[in-house]
Amino acid sequence: MAVVADAGTLYGLLAVGAGLATGLAGIGAGMGEQGIGAAVVGVVAEEPGFLGKGLFLMLLPETLIIFGLAVSLILMFAWTPFSGIVTP
């Protein structure tokens, strides 16, 4: 049985995929950051001068979201196989 998808369905699936890419990456980064955040707060309580370095350590896992977002952007804007269908 052949499944025939129209342009709207494909575009919808693309959007869902893009959303999952950013969303799941965000969850992953958040899980990474929770441990770092707790540790940084602990260190800063002992030594306030560590705040700068601590904040910066907190940002390390945020790269993950950027990767997810990059995938989303590519899906939404730069995925040529579908771009012909996507234009409304």
At its nearest, how many Å lie between other proteins and the CB of residue 13? 18
At its nearest, how many Å lie between other proteins and the CB of residue 51? 9
Residues 49-68: x where in contact with other proteins by CB under 8 A, - otherwise, as a string: ---xx-xx--xx-xx-xxx-
Q: What is the dihedral of CA 52, 54, 55, 56, to 10 degrees?
A: 90
How far apart (Å, rounded) are the C-alpha atoms in residues 22 and 30? 12
At its nearest, how many Å lie between other proteins and the CB of residue 66? 5
- Is the CB of residue 64 less than 8 Å from the CB of residue 28? yes
Kindly tell me which of 44 and 73 has the beta carbon lying closer to other proteins.
Answer: 73
